[in-house]
Structure 1
Amino acid sequence: MSAFRTLDDLPPDQRVLVRLDLNSPVEDGVVRDNRRFSRHAETVAELAEAGHRVALMAHQGRPGRDTFVSLAQHADVLAEHAGVDVDFVADTFGDDALEAVRDLDAGDVLLLENTRMTDDELPEREPEEHAASDFVETLAPEFDAYVNDAYSAAHRKHASLVGFPLRLPSYAGRVMQTEYEANTAIADREFDGNVTMVVGGAKATDVIGVMEALDETVDRFLLGGVAGELFLRAAGYPVGEDVETDLFDDQWDANEETIRAVLEERRDRVLLPSDLAFEGDEGDRAEVAVDDIETKERAFLDIGSDTVADYEPVIRDSEAVFVKGALGVFEDERFSVGTVGVLEAIADTDCFSVVGGGDTSRAITMYGMSEGDFSHVSIAGGAYIRALTGEPLPAVELLVRSAEADSSG
C-alpha cells in the first residue's frame, strides 16, 4: 500500500488541479512529441472519463533559454494522446485563467500556461513559503483536490509541486504512482538472486553516487559511457581523458578519490569494458581492446562487442537489473551496439527490470524493442537518481504529508 493516496482514493465529481511534466525538446520553435505526453495522457484521460473538471499545470524550459515557450502546442499533442479535447488558456493564475477554470464542465480538460512564466514558481523554497505565494493562494480555492503526476520533477521544491499539497487534499497520478513504486523497488524489495546495475551516461558524478549508495544492495555493476572510461582510467588505462569532448577531465578531478576507492573496495563486483568503439578513418565503426590502447587519440563512442558479450551472461544470471544511463552514443546507429545489446539481453530474461536515466529509455522504441519486455521504463532523470540513492523527493513527501494530515483529521 502506498504511503500517499492515488486516483483510486479520489472522490467523484471533483474540481481537480493536476501537475504534469510535459517538458520537451523544442526545435525551431516546434515542441517535439515524446514519451511524457503518452504516459501523462493516461492520467488525464482517466480523470476526464470519470467526469472530473480538470485543470492542468506543467512547465517548459527555463527563462532565457530557447526551450522556454508557451504550452499552447503541448495542449494539442496531449489531446492527441489522451483522446480528449484539451483547451488552453495563455494565463497561469490571472483573471483569464480563473474564468476558464470556472467555466469547466464535467469531463472538460484545460491546460494553463507554463508555470515558469510566473515569478512564484521557480525559487527553491520551503513548502510553507510556496503555499503562501500569490500563485498558490489565488488558484487553490478554485479546486477540491490536487493531483501530482510529475514524478520526474519531484526532486524540485517549486510552487506547483510543493505549495498546493498544503492547501488541498492531494493524490498521486498514475505516472507518479508507477514511477515511485518501480524506482524505490531497489531499496524496498528483497531479491533472492543477484541484483545488477548497468551504469552509463554522460553524468558520471551522478552514477558514482548511486554506486556508493547501493553498495549493500547491488551485486554487480556493468560500466560504460563516461563512467566506464573514468573507471578504466583509475585502473591504469590511458582513457577517460578529454579528446574532442569536455566530459571527462572535470568529472575526473571531482571524483578521482571516490572512483579509486570504489574500484579498490569492490573490484570483483565492478565489470569494466574490455574494448571500446570509435569512428574509423572511413567513417565506420571500429573497435579496440583496452589492453591495446597506448594513448587516447580520438573519442570513444560506445563499449565494444566483446564487452557486450561479457555483460550478457551476467544479466541473464540476474533476478533484478536496474539501468542508469546509456553505454554509448546510441542515437548514432553505429554506436548503439552496447546500449541495445544490453537492453535486448534484459528484455530476453524474466528478471525484474527498471530502465531509467535521461534519454536512455528512448533506445527501446528507437531500435524496435517493446516497453512491455521491461518491468518499468522510467521517464525520470534527476528524480530517478534520488530514488536510487535514497535521497528525499520533496513532492512525494508532500503527498505523504497530505495523506497523513487528512487521516489524522
Structure 2
Amino acid sequence: MKKLSILDVPKETFKDKRVFVRVDFNVPIEDGKILDDYRIKKSLETINYLIECGAKIILASHLSRPKGKDLKFSLKPVGIHLSKLLNKEVKFFDMIEENYVDYLGKIKGKVLNLKSKEILLLENLRFSDGEEKNDENFINEIYQLAEIYVNDAFGTSHRKHASVYGLALKYKLRLAGILMKNEIEYLYKVKENPIKPFYSVIGGFKISDKIKVLENLINVSEKILIGGAMAYTFLKIKGIKVGNSVIDNSAIEFAQKFLKDYHQKIVLPIDHVVKNSQIKEVLEIDDEYKGMDIGKRTIELFKNELINAKMIFWNGPLGKFEEDEFSGGTFEIAKFISELTKKGVITVLGGGDTVSAIHKANLKDEDFTHVSTGGGATLELLAGEEMPGVEVLNDV
C-alpha cells in the first residue's frame, strides 16, 4: 500500500496554509508532568518539517478515555512539554466551555489568524463524544479550521473516529506525516511482501491475542521463533514439562492445529530460566517452578536462526524483562537484532512492550530499521484488520 505523504508534495504546498495534523499524544501524565514523552518525540520530525515549510500548524490528539470534559486529561501539559522540545511557543487555549463545538467556535478566529510557522494545540479531542462517534457536526467544526489534512497518528488509525477518518474525507489533500509514512512502508511490507528470507520473533503473554497475526505471519515467514509466556502453551502440547508456567487455555485448540500444520516452521525454546524459591536454568520445568525467560541454549538457537535473515519482524518480549534476572533473553536477542541491522538486515519492531524492552536494554529506535509506535494498531494491521485512518489518505 502506498499513500501520499508530506514528503511527496512540493514544500510550497504548505507555505502559509493551515495544516491540521492528527498526532498521537496519548502519553502518561501525573500531576501535570509527562512521565514518558516517547510518542511526543516521535512526532517532532513531521512538526519540524512543516515549520520548515512555513505552514500554520494545528495539532490535535486524544488523551486517555475521558467521559466528556475532564481537565485531569487536558493536553495543556503536553503543549508546555512540546514547546520545550521544539524551543518554540505552542499556543494552547483553555477550554472553559462544557461543549467542544462551543470551544472550537470561540478559538476559531485565533486559529484562522495563525501566522506562518506558528503552532496551536487543540484540547483533548475526546472531551467531545463526537470524536469517537465520527459525528458530522463535530467534523464540520474542525474542518473549517484548516486547509490541508495530515495524519501522523498510526496508533489510532485502526478506529473510524472523527479526526482520523470522517474529517480526512472532507479534504482534497489528505496526507501521511513522516512517522505514518514509515509505519505504512514497513508494516505493509511485513504483511504483504517481506524481503526473503524473512523471520518473525513473537513473544508476549497470550497466544489468543495474536492468533490472526500468527496465521498471517506463518505464510510469509521462513520460521517463527516463539518465546515469552505464550511459548509454554505450545511446549505443553508437545508433551514437554512446563511446571507452573502460564498456559493460555483459551488457545489450546488453535495451538494444537498450528503446531501440527507448521511444526517445521516453528522454533520453540529448548531451555528456560525458572523461578520458585530460587532461580535456575533448566531444560524442562518441574511442577513447583514457573518459566520466566528463555535460557542460554535458546538464545543461541534463536541467534543461529536469525543469522540467515534479510528481514526480521519482532513483537513481544521473550521473558519477564521488567525484572532484571529475567531480562537476559529479551535483551540478548534485542542486541543481536540491532547488530544484524548494522549489517544491512531490515528489522521491524512493534508493540508497546517490545519498545519498552529495547529502551530498557539501552538501545535506541535508531538501532533498528523501524520501530512501530502502533501498539494494538500494529497487531490489528498484521492480523488483516481494516485501517480506516490509513485507507482514507490520498494514494500515490
User: What is the TM-score when the length of structure 2 is the normalising length?
Assistant: 0.89
| Residue identity matched to 2:175 | Y
1:97 aligns with 2:112: no
2:143 to 140, 143, 147: 140
1:265 to 261, 265, 271: 261
Contact 1:276 1:300 in 2 (8 A): yes
Distance in 2 (CA, whole Å) between partners of 1:205 and 1:79 is: 41
1:389 aligns with 2:392: no
The CA deviation string for residues 51-82 of structure 1, in whole angstroms up to 9 with x for no partner, is 11111111111126999611111112222333
Contact 2:32 2:77 in 1 (8 A): no
Q: Which residue pairs with 1:342 in the alignment? A: 333
Contact 2:276 2:290 in 1 (8 A): no
- Matched position secondary structure for 2:130: coil
Aligned positions of 1:140-219 closer than 5 A: 140-168=143-171, 169-192=173-196, 194-219=197-222
Contact 1:316 1:345 in 2 (8 A): no
1:112 aligns with 2:109: no
Contact 1:153 1:383 in 2 (8 A): yes
Change (3 A) 1:67 1:258: farther
| Residue identity matched to 1:173 | G
| Residue identity matched to 1:394 | P
Q: Which residue pairs with 1:407 in the alignment? A: none
The CA deviation string for residues 354-385 of structure 1, in whole angstroms up to 9 with x for no partner, is 01112212222322224333111111112211
1:332 aligns with 2:323: yes
Contact 1:26 1:67 in 2 (8 A): no
Q: Which residue pairs with 1:227 in the alignment? A: 230
Distance in 2 (CA, whole Å) between partners of 1:176 and 1:240 is: 43
The CA deviation string for residues 132-176 of structure 1, in whole angstroms up to 9 with x for no partner, is 522111120121111100011111111111011111121110111
Contact 2:242 2:290 in 1 (8 A): no
- Matched position secondary structure for 2:143: helix
Contact 1:60 1:67 in 2 (8 A): no
Change (3 A) 1:86 1:346: same
Aligned positions of 1:1-400 closer than 5 A: 2-9=2-9, 11=13, 12-27=15-30, 30-63=33-66, 69-91=73-95, 92-93=100-101, 94=103, 95-123=105-133, 130=134, 133-168=136-171, 169-192=173-196, 194-239=197-242, 248=246, 251-253=248-250, 255-279=251-275, 281=277, 285-290=279-284, 293-295=285-287, 297-349=288-340, 350=343, 351-400=345-394
Distance in 1 (CA, whole Å) between partners of 2:374 and 2:82 is: 18
Distance in 2 (CA, whole Å) between partners of 1:140 and 1:353 is: 38
Gaps of 5+ in 2: none
Among all aligned residue pairs of Structure 1 and Structure 2, give the percentage whose two residues are the same amino acid: 32
- Matched position secondary structure for 1:163: helix
Distance in 2 (CA, whole Å) between partners of 1:188 and 1:319 is: 16
Contact 1:207 1:324 in 2 (8 A): no
Deviates more, 1:348-357 or 1:369-378: 369-378
Distance in 2 (CA, whole Å) between partners of 1:340 and 1:38 is: 23
Distance in 1 (CA, whole Å) between partners of 2:388 and 2:34 is: 28
Change (3 A) 1:109 1:240: farther
Distance in 2 (CA, whole Å) between partners of 1:374 and 1:148 is: 23
1:310 positional shift: 1.2
Distance in 1 (CA, whole Å) between partners of 2:194 and 2:33 is: 45
1:26 positional shift: 3.2
The CA deviation string for residues 271-319 of structure 1, in whole angstroms up to 9 with x for no partner, is 111122234536xx432222xx232x35432222221111111111111
Distance in 2 (CA, whole Å) between partners of 1:90 and 1:204 is: 44
Distance in 2 (CA, whole Å) between partners of 1:288 and 1:370 is: 32
Distance in 2 (CA, whole Å) between partners of 1:87 and 1:54 is: 10
1:87 positional shift: 1.8
User: What is the TM-score when the length of structure 1 is the normalising length?
Assistant: 0.86
1:256 positional shift: 1.6
Distance in 2 (CA, whole Å) between partners of 1:286 and 1:85 is: 54
- Matched position secondary structure for 1:215: helix
1:205 positional shift: 2.0
Distance in 2 (CA, whole Å) between partners of 1:152 and 1:67 is: 23
Contact 1:89 1:96 in 2 (8 A): no
| Residue identity matched to 2:122 | L
The CA deviation string for residues 89-127 of structure 1, in whole angstroms up to 9 with x for no partner, is 23454233324312311111111111111110123xxxx
The CA deviation string for residues 195-236 of structure 1, in whole angstroms up to 9 with x for no partner, is 110001124223232111122200111111122122112222
Give the RMSD, CA atoms, in angstroms.
2.4
